[in-house]
Amino acid sequence: MSITAIKGFNDLLPAESGHWQFIEQTARKVFTRFGFSEIRVPIVEKTELFCRSIGDTTDIVEKEMYTFNDKGGNSLTLRPEGTAGVMRALIEHKLYALDSLNKLYYMGPMFRHERPQKGRYRQFHQIGAEVTGAADPLIDAQVLLMVSRLFQELGLTEPQLQINSLGCPACRPAYREALVAFLAERQDALCEDCRRRQATNPLRALDCKVPGCVEATKGAPSMLEHLCSDCDAHFAAVQGYLGAAAVPYSLNPRMVRGLDYYTRTTFELVTGLLGAQSAVAAGGRYDGLVEQLGGPAVPGIGFALGVERVALLLGDRSFAQSPDLFIAVMGDAARLAGFSLMAALQDQGLRVETDVEGKSLKGQMRRADKLQARYCMVVGEDELAKQSVSLKRMADGEQQTVQLDAVAVAAAVTGGAST
Protein backbone atom coordinates (compact mmCIF):
# COMPACT_ATOMS: atom_id res chain seq x y z
CA MET A 1 0.00 0.00 0.00
CA SER A 2 1.33 3.43 -0.87
CA ILE A 3 2.12 5.91 1.87
CA THR A 4 -0.17 8.92 2.18
CA ALA A 5 0.27 12.27 3.95
CA ILE A 6 -0.79 12.69 7.59
CA LYS A 7 -4.39 13.87 8.19
CA GLY A 8 -4.54 17.67 8.29
CA PHE A 9 -1.13 18.01 6.61
CA ASN A 10 -1.48 19.12 3.00
CA ASP A 11 0.62 19.20 -0.14
CA LEU A 12 0.65 22.47 -2.02
CA LEU A 13 0.22 21.46 -5.64
CA PRO A 14 1.25 23.55 -8.69
CA ALA A 15 -2.40 24.50 -9.37
CA GLU A 16 -2.43 26.44 -6.09
CA SER A 17 1.18 27.54 -5.68
CA GLY A 18 0.58 30.63 -7.82
CA HIS A 19 -1.98 31.83 -5.24
CA TRP A 20 0.54 31.35 -2.43
CA GLN A 21 3.33 33.11 -4.29
CA PHE A 22 1.01 36.04 -4.97
CA ILE A 23 0.06 36.23 -1.28
CA GLU A 24 3.69 36.01 -0.13
CA GLN A 25 4.98 38.53 -2.69
CA THR A 26 2.18 40.98 -1.90
CA ALA A 27 2.86 40.67 1.84
CA ARG A 28 6.60 41.26 1.37
CA LYS A 29 5.89 44.31 -0.79
CA VAL A 30 3.43 45.87 1.67
CA PHE A 31 5.52 45.03 4.76
CA THR A 32 8.62 46.54 3.17
CA ARG A 33 6.67 49.69 2.37
CA PHE A 34 5.87 49.98 6.10
CA GLY A 35 9.51 49.47 7.13
CA PHE A 36 9.39 45.82 8.27
CA SER A 37 12.29 43.35 7.91
CA GLU A 38 12.07 39.59 7.73
CA ILE A 39 12.97 37.31 10.63
CA ARG A 40 13.13 33.51 10.42
CA VAL A 41 12.91 31.51 13.61
CA PRO A 42 12.87 27.74 14.20
CA ILE A 43 9.76 25.63 13.74
CA VAL A 44 10.52 23.72 16.96
CA GLU A 45 10.94 25.46 20.32
CA LYS A 46 11.07 24.44 23.97
CA THR A 47 7.52 23.62 25.10
CA GLU A 48 7.79 26.04 28.02
CA LEU A 49 7.98 29.00 25.62
CA PHE A 50 4.44 28.39 24.40
CA CYS A 51 3.04 27.56 27.85
CA ARG A 52 4.40 30.80 29.24
CA SER A 53 3.30 33.03 26.36
CA ILE A 54 0.06 31.61 24.93
CA GLY A 55 -1.17 30.55 28.39
CA ASP A 56 -1.62 27.21 30.17
CA THR A 57 -5.41 27.37 30.11
CA THR A 58 -5.88 28.14 26.42
CA ASP A 59 -7.21 25.53 23.97
CA ILE A 60 -3.92 25.74 22.07
CA VAL A 61 -1.78 24.76 25.06
CA GLU A 62 -4.32 22.47 26.71
CA LYS A 63 -5.31 20.45 23.65
CA GLU A 64 -3.66 21.37 20.38
CA MET A 65 0.12 21.34 20.65
CA TYR A 66 2.36 18.82 18.93
CA THR A 67 4.63 18.16 21.89
CA PHE A 68 7.23 15.42 22.12
CA ASN A 69 10.38 14.49 23.97
CA ASP A 70 13.56 14.45 21.91
CA LYS A 71 16.24 11.79 22.38
CA GLY A 72 17.80 13.91 25.14
CA GLY A 73 14.50 13.91 27.06
CA ASN A 74 13.74 17.61 26.39
CA SER A 75 10.12 18.57 25.89
CA LEU A 76 9.84 20.26 22.50
CA THR A 77 6.84 21.61 20.57
CA LEU A 78 6.13 22.32 16.91
CA ARG A 79 5.25 26.01 16.98
CA PRO A 80 1.48 26.60 17.08
CA GLU A 81 1.96 30.29 16.21
CA GLY A 82 4.73 32.76 15.41
CA THR A 83 4.69 35.51 18.03
CA ALA A 84 6.26 33.52 20.88
CA GLY A 85 9.29 32.44 18.84
CA VAL A 86 9.86 35.93 17.47
CA MET A 87 9.76 37.41 21.00
CA ARG A 88 12.14 34.68 22.20
CA ALA A 89 14.56 35.67 19.43
CA LEU A 90 14.14 39.38 20.21
CA ILE A 91 15.16 38.72 23.81
CA GLU A 92 17.88 36.18 23.04
CA HIS A 93 19.63 38.46 20.52
CA LYS A 94 18.83 41.67 22.45
CA LEU A 95 17.33 43.20 19.32
CA TYR A 96 15.54 45.71 21.58
CA ALA A 97 18.96 47.10 22.58
CA LEU A 98 20.15 47.46 18.97
CA ASP A 99 17.05 49.43 18.08
CA SER A 100 14.32 50.71 20.41
CA LEU A 101 11.75 49.94 17.71
CA ASN A 102 11.72 46.56 15.95
CA LYS A 103 9.40 45.87 13.02
CA LEU A 104 9.62 42.22 11.99
CA TYR A 105 7.69 39.92 9.68
CA TYR A 106 7.74 36.18 9.14
CA MET A 107 6.03 33.48 7.12
CA GLY A 108 5.92 29.74 7.52
CA PRO A 109 4.18 26.64 8.80
CA MET A 110 2.45 26.41 12.21
CA PHE A 111 1.01 23.28 13.81
CA ARG A 112 -2.16 22.75 15.86
CA HIS A 113 -3.86 19.45 16.52
CA GLU A 114 -7.36 20.68 15.66
CA ARG A 115 -10.16 18.79 13.92
CA PRO A 116 -9.43 19.35 10.21
CA GLN A 117 -12.14 20.89 8.04
CA LYS A 118 -12.30 23.46 5.23
CA GLY A 119 -9.97 26.30 6.21
CA ARG A 120 -8.71 24.48 9.32
CA TYR A 121 -5.68 22.23 9.14
CA ARG A 122 -3.10 20.70 11.46
CA GLN A 123 -0.21 22.14 9.50
CA PHE A 124 -1.20 25.58 8.30
CA HIS A 125 0.76 28.64 7.25
CA GLN A 126 0.86 32.10 8.68
CA ILE A 127 2.26 35.37 7.44
CA GLY A 128 2.69 37.63 10.43
CA ALA A 129 4.22 40.91 11.54
CA GLU A 130 5.24 42.19 14.96
CA VAL A 131 6.25 45.63 16.22
CA THR A 132 7.99 45.97 19.56
CA GLY A 133 9.03 49.10 21.41
CA ALA A 134 6.03 51.38 20.87
CA ALA A 135 3.05 51.74 23.17
CA ASP A 136 1.62 54.68 21.24
CA PRO A 137 -1.86 54.14 19.74
CA LEU A 138 -0.44 55.39 16.45
CA ILE A 139 1.43 52.09 16.08
CA ASP A 140 -1.79 50.12 16.63
CA ALA A 141 -3.38 52.16 13.85
CA GLN A 142 -0.31 51.72 11.63
CA VAL A 143 -0.47 47.93 11.98
CA LEU A 144 -4.20 48.00 11.23
CA LEU A 145 -3.58 50.28 8.25
CA MET A 146 -0.94 47.83 7.00
CA VAL A 147 -3.32 44.86 7.36
CA SER A 148 -6.02 46.77 5.55
CA ARG A 149 -3.65 47.81 2.73
CA LEU A 150 -2.41 44.23 2.43
CA PHE A 151 -5.92 42.91 1.83
CA GLN A 152 -6.60 45.78 -0.56
CA GLU A 153 -3.50 44.84 -2.58
CA LEU A 154 -4.60 41.21 -2.54
CA GLY A 155 -7.83 42.41 -4.14
CA LEU A 156 -9.91 41.15 -1.20
CA THR A 157 -12.45 43.64 0.03
CA GLU A 158 -14.84 41.29 1.76
CA PRO A 159 -13.13 40.50 5.08
CA GLN A 160 -14.30 43.04 7.63
CA LEU A 161 -11.96 44.49 10.22
CA GLN A 162 -13.36 44.18 13.73
CA ILE A 163 -11.59 45.71 16.71
CA ASN A 164 -11.89 45.53 20.47
CA SER A 165 -9.90 46.43 23.55
CA LEU A 166 -9.14 43.80 26.18
CA GLY A 167 -7.89 46.35 28.72
CA CYS A 168 -4.80 45.92 30.84
CA PRO A 169 -3.80 44.29 34.15
CA ALA A 170 -5.26 47.36 35.91
CA CYS A 171 -8.79 47.12 34.54
CA ARG A 172 -9.26 43.54 33.38
CA PRO A 173 -9.60 41.93 36.86
CA ALA A 174 -12.66 44.06 37.68
CA TYR A 175 -14.19 43.19 34.32
CA ARG A 176 -13.42 39.54 34.84
CA GLU A 177 -15.18 39.68 38.22
CA ALA A 178 -18.25 41.29 36.67
CA LEU A 179 -18.29 38.65 33.93
CA VAL A 180 -17.84 35.76 36.39
CA ALA A 181 -20.76 37.10 38.48
CA PHE A 182 -22.89 37.32 35.32
CA LEU A 183 -21.95 33.79 34.25
CA ALA A 184 -22.52 32.38 37.74
CA GLU A 185 -26.21 33.33 37.45
CA ARG A 186 -26.44 31.41 34.18
CA GLN A 187 -24.39 28.35 35.15
CA ASP A 188 -26.98 25.80 34.09
CA ALA A 189 -27.26 27.18 30.57
CA LEU A 190 -23.50 26.99 29.90
CA CYS A 191 -21.70 24.10 28.23
CA GLU A 192 -19.34 21.94 30.25
CA ASP A 193 -16.24 23.65 28.80
CA CYS A 194 -17.48 27.12 29.73
CA ARG A 195 -18.43 26.01 33.24
CA ARG A 196 -15.00 24.47 33.71
CA ARG A 197 -13.26 27.57 32.37
CA GLN A 198 -15.09 29.98 34.68
CA ALA A 199 -12.31 29.88 37.23
CA THR A 200 -9.43 29.91 34.75
CA ASN A 201 -10.49 31.67 31.55
CA PRO A 202 -14.05 33.02 31.85
CA LEU A 203 -13.72 35.36 28.85
CA ARG A 204 -13.76 32.36 26.51
CA ALA A 205 -17.50 31.97 27.22
CA LEU A 206 -18.07 35.05 25.03
CA ASP A 207 -16.47 33.21 22.12
CA CYS A 208 -18.18 29.84 22.65
CA LYS A 209 -20.16 28.67 19.61
CA VAL A 210 -22.49 26.31 21.55
CA PRO A 211 -26.01 27.76 21.02
CA GLY A 212 -26.87 27.62 24.76
CA CYS A 213 -23.76 29.68 25.60
CA VAL A 214 -24.43 32.18 22.81
CA GLU A 215 -27.94 32.69 24.21
CA ALA A 216 -26.83 32.77 27.86
CA THR A 217 -24.10 35.34 27.29
CA LYS A 218 -26.34 37.81 25.46
CA GLY A 219 -26.23 40.99 27.49
CA ALA A 220 -22.97 40.00 29.22
CA PRO A 221 -20.95 42.93 30.61
CA SER A 222 -18.74 44.53 27.97
CA MET A 223 -14.99 45.01 28.41
CA LEU A 224 -15.29 48.35 26.63
CA GLU A 225 -17.45 49.64 29.50
CA HIS A 226 -14.88 48.53 32.06
CA LEU A 227 -11.71 50.04 30.53
CA CYS A 228 -9.61 52.19 32.86
CA SER A 229 -9.11 55.78 31.72
CA ASP A 230 -5.68 55.04 30.18
CA CYS A 231 -6.99 52.09 28.14
CA ASP A 232 -10.09 54.05 27.19
CA ALA A 233 -7.99 56.99 25.94
CA HIS A 234 -5.65 54.59 24.09
CA PHE A 235 -8.53 52.87 22.33
CA ALA A 236 -10.20 56.20 21.46
CA ALA A 237 -6.91 57.43 19.97
CA VAL A 238 -6.54 54.23 17.87
CA GLN A 239 -10.00 54.86 16.45
CA GLY A 240 -9.13 58.51 15.82
CA TYR A 241 -6.12 57.48 13.72
CA LEU A 242 -8.14 54.84 11.86
CA GLY A 243 -10.68 57.54 11.02
CA ALA A 244 -7.93 59.88 9.82
CA ALA A 245 -6.62 57.23 7.40
CA ALA A 246 -10.18 56.21 6.42
CA VAL A 247 -9.60 52.56 7.45
CA PRO A 248 -13.03 50.92 7.67
CA TYR A 249 -13.70 48.93 10.87
CA SER A 250 -16.42 48.00 13.29
CA LEU A 251 -16.35 47.46 17.05
CA ASN A 252 -16.82 43.93 18.37
CA PRO A 253 -16.88 44.12 22.17
CA ARG A 254 -17.40 40.33 22.38
CA MET A 255 -14.13 39.53 20.62
CA VAL A 256 -11.86 37.48 22.85
CA ARG A 257 -8.73 35.95 21.47
CA GLY A 258 -7.58 32.37 21.92
CA LEU A 259 -4.18 33.41 23.30
CA ASP A 260 -3.63 34.90 26.75
CA TYR A 261 -0.93 37.45 25.98
CA TYR A 262 -3.21 40.16 24.61
CA THR A 263 -3.74 43.56 26.22
CA ARG A 264 -5.67 46.58 24.91
CA THR A 265 -6.25 46.62 21.13
CA THR A 266 -7.23 43.28 19.55
CA PHE A 267 -8.60 42.71 16.09
CA GLU A 268 -9.77 40.17 13.54
CA LEU A 269 -10.51 40.22 9.85
CA VAL A 270 -13.64 38.16 9.49
CA THR A 271 -15.36 36.72 6.45
CA GLY A 272 -18.68 35.03 5.89
CA LEU A 273 -17.30 33.04 2.96
CA LEU A 274 -15.41 30.29 4.78
CA GLY A 275 -18.13 28.67 6.86
CA ALA A 276 -17.11 28.08 10.46
CA GLN A 277 -13.60 29.46 9.90
CA SER A 278 -14.45 33.14 9.90
CA ALA A 279 -11.09 34.67 10.94
CA VAL A 280 -8.74 35.26 8.02
CA ALA A 281 -6.27 37.31 10.04
CA ALA A 282 -6.04 38.32 13.67
CA GLY A 283 -3.80 40.01 16.17
CA GLY A 284 -3.44 42.59 18.85
CA ARG A 285 -1.29 44.27 21.43
CA TYR A 286 0.73 42.22 23.94
CA ASP A 287 2.42 44.74 26.22
CA GLY A 288 3.45 42.30 28.97
CA LEU A 289 4.71 39.42 26.84
CA VAL A 290 8.40 40.28 26.42
CA GLU A 291 8.77 40.85 30.16
CA GLN A 292 6.85 37.66 30.91
CA LEU A 293 9.39 35.76 28.80
CA GLY A 294 12.31 37.19 30.76
CA GLY A 295 13.06 40.28 28.66
CA PRO A 296 12.70 43.96 29.47
CA ALA A 297 9.33 45.73 29.65
CA VAL A 298 8.97 46.29 25.91
CA PRO A 299 5.44 46.71 24.51
CA GLY A 300 4.39 44.91 21.35
CA ILE A 301 1.65 44.52 18.79
CA GLY A 302 1.23 42.30 15.75
CA PHE A 303 -0.97 40.08 13.64
CA ALA A 304 -0.94 36.96 11.51
CA LEU A 305 -3.02 35.88 8.55
CA GLY A 306 -3.81 32.32 7.57
CA VAL A 307 -2.39 31.70 4.09
CA GLU A 308 -4.74 28.77 3.34
CA ARG A 309 -7.76 30.90 4.21
CA VAL A 310 -6.58 33.83 2.10
CA ALA A 311 -5.90 31.43 -0.80
CA LEU A 312 -9.46 30.08 -0.47
CA LEU A 313 -10.79 33.63 -0.69
CA LEU A 314 -8.76 34.25 -3.85
CA GLY A 315 -10.69 31.28 -5.25
CA ASP A 316 -10.62 30.75 -8.99
CA ARG A 317 -8.41 33.70 -9.83
CA SER A 318 -5.69 32.49 -12.15
CA PHE A 319 -2.05 33.00 -11.21
CA ALA A 320 -0.74 30.56 -13.81
CA GLN A 321 2.51 31.72 -15.43
CA SER A 322 1.93 30.88 -19.06
CA PRO A 323 4.84 31.08 -21.54
CA ASP A 324 5.34 34.14 -23.71
CA LEU A 325 6.33 31.96 -26.63
CA PHE A 326 6.25 28.33 -27.71
CA ILE A 327 8.79 27.38 -30.38
CA ALA A 328 7.58 24.40 -32.39
CA VAL A 329 10.28 22.71 -34.48
CA MET A 330 10.40 20.39 -37.49
CA GLY A 331 13.62 18.47 -38.15
CA ASP A 332 16.97 18.23 -36.39
CA ALA A 333 18.44 21.50 -37.71
CA ALA A 334 15.34 23.41 -36.57
CA ARG A 335 15.48 21.68 -33.22
CA LEU A 336 19.02 22.96 -32.71
CA ALA A 337 18.14 26.49 -33.89
CA GLY A 338 14.98 26.50 -31.73
CA PHE A 339 17.00 25.46 -28.70
CA SER A 340 19.54 28.25 -29.12
CA LEU A 341 16.76 30.81 -29.81
CA MET A 342 15.01 29.67 -26.62
CA ALA A 343 18.21 30.12 -24.60
CA ALA A 344 18.79 33.65 -25.99
CA LEU A 345 15.18 34.71 -25.36
CA GLN A 346 15.18 33.32 -21.82
CA ASP A 347 18.32 35.38 -21.14
CA GLN A 348 16.22 38.42 -22.03
CA GLY A 349 13.71 37.47 -19.34
CA LEU A 350 11.06 35.89 -21.58
CA ARG A 351 9.28 32.69 -20.65
CA VAL A 352 9.91 30.35 -23.57
CA GLU A 353 9.15 26.67 -24.13
CA THR A 354 10.03 24.34 -26.94
CA ASP A 355 9.44 20.67 -27.69
CA VAL A 356 11.39 18.28 -25.47
CA GLU A 357 9.37 15.15 -26.14
CA GLY A 358 9.92 14.66 -29.91
CA LYS A 359 6.24 15.32 -30.62
CA SER A 360 4.71 15.69 -34.07
CA LEU A 361 3.93 19.23 -35.18
CA LYS A 362 0.28 18.66 -34.27
CA GLY A 363 1.33 17.40 -30.83
CA GLN A 364 3.56 20.44 -30.31
CA MET A 365 0.69 22.79 -31.20
CA ARG A 366 -1.55 20.97 -28.74
CA ARG A 367 1.11 21.47 -26.06
CA ALA A 368 1.38 25.20 -26.89
CA ASP A 369 -2.40 25.46 -26.45
CA LYS A 370 -2.35 23.53 -23.18
CA LEU A 371 0.37 25.80 -21.80
CA GLN A 372 -1.63 28.82 -23.01
CA ALA A 373 1.43 30.28 -24.70
CA ARG A 374 0.83 33.90 -25.78
CA TYR A 375 2.74 33.44 -29.04
CA CYS A 376 3.73 30.45 -31.10
CA MET A 377 6.09 29.94 -34.03
CA VAL A 378 7.00 26.97 -36.20
CA VAL A 379 10.64 26.63 -37.23
CA GLY A 380 11.38 24.25 -40.13
CA GLU A 381 13.73 24.02 -43.11
CA ASP A 382 12.01 26.90 -44.94
CA GLU A 383 12.28 29.27 -41.99
CA LEU A 384 15.92 28.38 -41.50
CA ALA A 385 16.67 28.97 -45.17
CA LYS A 386 14.90 32.36 -45.22
CA GLN A 387 15.89 33.27 -41.65
CA SER A 388 12.39 34.55 -41.11
CA VAL A 389 9.45 33.06 -39.28
CA SER A 390 5.74 33.61 -38.84
CA LEU A 391 4.84 34.59 -35.29
CA LYS A 392 1.28 33.84 -34.28
CA ARG A 393 -0.56 35.60 -31.48
CA MET A 394 -2.66 32.83 -29.96
CA ALA A 395 -5.41 35.05 -28.54
CA ASP A 396 -6.65 36.22 -31.95
CA GLY A 397 -4.60 34.24 -34.49
CA GLU A 398 -2.93 37.38 -35.86
CA GLN A 399 0.33 36.55 -37.69
CA GLN A 400 3.39 38.64 -38.41
CA THR A 401 6.61 37.77 -40.16
CA VAL A 402 9.75 38.43 -38.13
CA GLN A 403 13.43 37.85 -38.62
CA LEU A 404 14.60 34.59 -37.05
CA ASP A 405 16.86 36.08 -34.41
CA ALA A 406 16.47 36.65 -30.70
CA VAL A 407 16.42 40.46 -30.83
CA ALA A 408 13.68 40.64 -33.48
CA VAL A 409 11.56 37.91 -31.88
CA ALA A 410 11.90 39.45 -28.40
CA ALA A 411 10.89 42.86 -29.75
CA ALA A 412 7.81 41.40 -31.46
CA VAL A 413 6.77 39.36 -28.40
CA THR A 414 7.29 42.13 -25.84
CA GLY A 415 5.92 44.81 -28.16
CA GLY A 416 2.80 42.72 -28.50
CA ALA A 417 2.48 42.30 -24.76
CA SER A 418 0.90 45.69 -24.32
CA THR A 419 -1.57 45.39 -27.17
Q: What is the dihedral of CA 278, 285, 60, 72, to 10 degrees?
A: 140
Radius of gyration of the chain (CA): 28
Asked if residue 57 lies in contact with residue 260, where contact means CB atoms within 8 angstroms, the answer is yes
Q: Cβ of residue 151: shortest distance to ligand HAM, in angstroms?
A: 12
C-alpha distance from residue 77 to each of 69, 80, 85, 127 (Å): 9, 8, 11, 20
Site for ligand HAM in 250-269 (CB under 6 A): 258-259
Site for ligand HAM in 292-311 (CB under 6 A): 302-306, 308-309
Span of 91-99, 159-167, 275-283, 331-339 interacting with ligand HAM by CB under 6 A? 275-283
- Kindly tell me which of 124 and 151 has the beta carbon lying closer to ligand HAM: 124
Distance (Å, whole) CA 395 – CA 252? 49
CB closer to ligand HAM, 16 vs 114: 114
Length of the chain: 419
Q: Largest Cα–Cα distance in the chain?
A: 93
Q: Does 82 bind ligand HAM (CB under 6 A)?
A: yes
Q: Which of 36, 35, 43 lies closest to 108 in space, CA to CA?
A: 43
Q: Is 282 in the site for ligand HAM (CB under 6 A)?
A: yes
Using CB under 6 A, which residues numbered 309 to 368 contact ligand HAM? 309
- 79 contacts: CB under 8 Å, gap ≥ 6: 42, 43, 44, 45, 50, 85, 110, 111
CA–CA separation, 340 vs 276, rounded Å? 54
In the shown chain, the binding pattern of residues 108 to 147 toward ligand HAM, with x for contact by CB under 6 A and - for none, equals ----x-x-----xx--x-x-x-x-----------------
**CA quadruple 382, 383, 384, 387: dihedral sign:** positive
Residue 224 or 279 having the CB closest to ligand HAM: 279
Number of residues in contact with ligand HAM under rule CB under 6 A: 26
* Of 137 and 284, CB closest to ligand HAM: 284
- 75: β partners: 69
CB of 14 to ligand HAM, least distance (A): 21
Please identify, using beta-carbon distances, which residue of 221 and 295 lies nearer to ligand HAM: 295
Q: Does 55 bind ligand HAM (CB under 6 A)?
A: no
Residues contributing to the site for ligand HAM (CB under 6 A) = 81-83, 112, 114, 120-121, 124, 126, 128, 130, 258-259, 279-284, 302-306, 308-309
